[in-house]
Amino acid sequence: MNVSPGLEARAEEPASTPRGAYRRLTANTGFRHLWISQLVSGIGDWLVIGLLMPLVTSLSGGSSFAVAGILIAKLLPALVLSSLTGVLVDRFDRRRLMIASDLARAALTLGLLFTNSLALIYLIVLLMEVGSLFFYPAKNALIPHLVAEEDVAVANGLSYTTQQAAMLIGLTASGALLALFERLIRMVLESGVPFIDLLGGLVAPALLGPRAGVFLNSLTFLVSAAFIASIPLVSDTAREMVRFDPRLIGADVVDAFRFLRDHRELRGLLVTVGLAIFGGGAIVTIGLVFVPQQLVGGVPFADEVPWLEQLAAAPTSFMLVFLAAGMVGGALVVPRLTQRLTLQLLFLGGVGGFGLAMFTFALARSYAVAGLLTLVAGACIAAITVAGNTYVVATVADEIRGRVFTALESVIKVSLLGSMLVMAPLGDLIARGVERLLRAYPDTLGTFGLSGPQVALQAASFVVLAAAVYAFRTLEWRSCKEACSDG
C-alpha cells in the first residue's frame, strides 16, 4: 500500500486554516459528538487512575513502586498488542470499535468494586488500556471522514486539546468530581420518593463510600458510547470493511512495517517522537525530585488562589497541571501556524523547543520561572502531536491509516514507559554521582551551583535535542522556504 495519490506533495505545502474553522467544526454534528465523546471518555480514562492512586497507596502500605505499577499497567499493552489493534482498527467499522471499547471499559471499571487485590487492580487497568488502544487510533482515523479537508489540521488541534484537558481533569480534579457526584446522589436519596428510599438502603453504602467514584467512572464511558452511537453515518464511516480473516493479520502487520520502511520521512517522524518522549519523560519523573528540592519562593498568587498552594505541596500535580495547560494552549495556536509553516517545520520546531525548554527548566530557581517553562514545554509537545497527526492524515491512505496511528500511539506509550523504567533510575544514578563529586570537590564544583537533579534533567534534555537533530536531517522541512515565499 502506498501513499494516497497527491497527498505526499500536499504535506510539503503549508496547510491552510481558513477563517471560521472552529465555527464549522462546532456546527458539524458528527465531529461535535465525537469531540464530546472524546472529552467524556478521556476524563473516565484518567479519572480511574486518579481514584486508584490513593487506594493502591493504602493497600500497599505507602509503596511508591506499587503506585508506579498502575502507570506501568496502563502503558504495557501498547508494547504487546499495538500491531493487532492497528489491523483491527483498519478492518472493522471504527464507530463500532469505539462503542465496544467504551462498553468494555465501563464493565471493567465496575470490577474495581469487588477487589482489594493489587494484582487484580493492575489486571483491570491493563485490560482497560487495551480498550483505549482501539479507541484513540479509531478516533484519529475517523476525523478526516467527518470534517472538510481544509479543517483537518484545526480538528486535530482541537482533538489533541481535548485529550490533554481530559487528562488534566481526570488526574487533578478526581476529588472534586467525586464530591459533586456524592452531592447529587444525596439529593436523589433525600428526595423522599418511596422507590428511591428502598433502593437507597441497598446502594447508598457503595454510592457514598470510598469507591463511589467507580460508578462515576463507569458512567463516563457509557455517556461516551451514547454520543459515538449518535454520530450521523456518512459513506466512508458506514461502509462495511473488508471481510475479516484472522489469517490476514500477519500479512497486514507486514504491510504496515513495509510501508514505514519505504516511507523514510514518516519513519523518521516516529523515531523522533520516540526519542523526544523517552528523554522528555524525565521532566515529570526527575522533576518530582527537582521541584521540591530546588524551587524557592512558593507558587505566585497562592495566597489568593488556594488550589495553587496545593500544587506547590504536590510536585506531581504542579508538573502535570502546567504541562497540560501548555499543551492545551499550544494545541489552540498550532493550527493557525499551519497557514505559514509546513507540518514538518512545525514538528521540528516543537521537538527543538521542547529540548530547550527542558534544559532551561533545569536551571530554574523559582516556581514562577519553572511554571512558565513547563507551559512552554507543553506547548511544544502540542506542536509535535498536532503536526504529526495532521501529517499522517495528509500522507497515509485511509486503508492503512489506523495502523499508522496505532504505531504512533504505541511509540508514545512505549517511549514513556521506557522513560519511566530507564531515565528515572538513570537520573537517580547521575544525581548520586553529581552529589558525590560535589562533596569531594566543593570548592571547585560548588561554584557552578548545580545539583544532581539539575544535571540529570539537562542530560535528559540532550536526548530530546538529539531527536531534534535527527528530525532536522530526516524531514523535508526546507520546502517551507519556497512555500512561505510564495505566500
Domains parsed from the chain with CATH numbers: 7-233+248-486 (1.20.1250.20)
Number of H helices, E strands in the chain: 24, 0
Question: What pLDDT is recorded for position 395?
Answer: 79
Q: Which positions ≥6 away from 373 have C-beta within 8 Å?
A: 357, 360, 361, 364
- The tally of CA atoms less than 13 A away on the side-chain side of residue 353 is 20
Neighbour count for residue 361 (Cβ, 10 Å): 25
Question: What pLDDT is recorded for position 315?
Answer: 54
C-alpha grid cell for residue 367? 516556581
Question: What pLDDT is recorded for position 465?
Answer: 95
CA distances from 278 to 46, 103, 171, 441 (A): 21, 32, 22, 32
This prediction has a pTM of 0.65
Question: What pLDDT is recorded for position 225?
Answer: 93
Paired strand residues for 296:
366
Question: What pLDDT is recorded for position 102?
Answer: 92
CA distances from 352 to 49, 164, 359, 467, 470 (A): 31, 21, 11, 8, 10
Question: What pLDDT is recorded for position 453?
Answer: 75
pLDDT digits (tens, 9 = 90+) for 303-355: 655 555 555 555 556 667 788 788 888 878 888 787 778 888 889 999 999 99
Question: What pLDDT is recorded for position 172?
Answer: 63
Question: What pLDDT is recorded for position 238?
Answer: 40
CA distance 417 to 288: 16
Counting as low any pLDDT under 50, the low residues of the chain are 1-17, 235-250, 252, 446-447, 480-487
Question: What pLDDT is recorded for position 483?
Answer: 37
Question: What pLDDT is recorded for position 100?
Answer: 92
Question: What pLDDT is recorded for position 223?
Answer: 93
Question: What pLDDT is recorded for position 248?
Answer: 45
Q: What 8-state DSSP symbol labels residue 349?
A: H
